[in-house]
Structure 1
């Protein structure tokens, strides 16, 4: 077994978002090239990038090998006004869904370019993003039909809390949570 190449894991925040926006979109375009997912187009995905990066608590890790971007992960804390849990079924109790702006970090995206898949890069990016987070938990949504990805997150300690179609046009997604403490 070969040792994975060292990755340069770079941290970015809200103020850095304009400078990494094109990089995030370009990596996304490569990862989703040929996808029939109606939400995978550059313009649609740009709306998600802009939404999440507008949050003052936006955090992003981009991994590089040399000068090549390997992949990235980003997200932000859920605000007290979030609708993240509103359409999760079965309905979750208010004690679970109540957000303060500091309780739950939402991992919005994690993607790795094809040459680095299966190398452990996704886990390293994930862990770098969450390292030292002050929130008590992290949540994410993953396509229900992507069984391998759901299993990967399960292996990292995420537990499924329900399913959701958060907005019109979205696929059925699995809502999962990982306790950080």
Structure 2
């Protein structure tokens, strides 16, 4: 797939991302049309933006990284995540697959080992042109961590197929503590 002409990537830290809060919400609303329309409270723009505010909260102390894609100067997609800190909440409700033998070693974080990829989205008018993969690679190629993890809803077939194609593998399941959160498959890949 050929990326749209005029694609530019903007790298942001937590403070810079907070300054673009309205852009973040706009991209979400233009990317998750069906999810928002479903009425699922977890997918409401209000709950999404509440999670965004928590992810970018300076008091959180984690290393947050975000990339926004622009096509001809118009926001077209975004991706973000953060370095998992020691005792990361990411692993609190994690239930590993049988292939994970050394559980305590697997979830041990030192603040440099694992990047938690939290969100990736492309506005509906830009889907099908490789922009999601470009965002994915743009962010992960810039990370110093040794591995990355993400959550995906098991029935999100389109995203799941893409992640597997991009080198991700399932390692277990989790149900985050966010209100109305579904059960997610936990995927991993080496960086």
TM-score, normalised via structure 1 length = 0.92
For the pair 1:60 / 2:66, whether they are aligned, the reply is yes
The answer (yes or no) to whether the contact 1:25–1:46 under 8 Å persists in 2 is yes
2:80 paired residue number: 74
State the match for 1:152 in structure 2: 162
Conserved 8 A contact 1:14-1:56:
no
8 Å contact 2:5–2:71 — kept in the other structure? yes
Matched residues in 2 for 1:143 and 1:75: separation? 17
Partner of 2:22: 22
Q: Give the distance between the partners of 1:3 and 1:15, measured in 2 at CA.
A: 29
Q: Deviation at 1:163?
A: 1.3
Q: CA deviation at 1:172?
A: 1.6
1:43 maps to which residue?
46
Q: State how far apart, in whole Å, the 1-side matches of 2:53 and 2:148 are.
A: 20
Report the CA distance shift for 1:87/1:3 in structure 2 as closer, same or farther (over 3 A).
closer
Give the structure with the higher percent helix.
2
Q: Which residue matches 1:178?
A: 189
In structure 1, runs of 5+ residues without a counterpart are none
- Change in CA separation of 1:2 and 1:30 when aligned onto 2, cut-off 3 Å: closer
How far 1:141 moved relative to its partner? Answer: 0.3
The 2-side partners of 1:158 and 1:115 are apart by 26
Asked whether the 8 Å contact 1:110–1:122 carries over to 2, the reply is yes
1:158-169 paired onto structure 2 within 5 Å? 158-167=168-177, 169=180
- Distance apart, 1:3 and its partner CA: 6.1
What is the alpha-carbon distance in structure 2 between the residues aligned to residue 3 and residue 169 of structure 1? 35
Gaps of 5+ in 2: none
Secondary structure in structure 1 of the residue aligned to 2:20: helix
Change (3 A) 1:44 1:134: same
Q: 3-state SS of the aligned residue for 1:87?
A: coil
Scaled by the length of structure 2, the TM-score of the pair is 0.87
Tell me how far 1:67 sits from its aligned partner: 2.1
SS in 2 for 1:39: helix
CA distance in 2, matches of 1:78, 1:3: 31
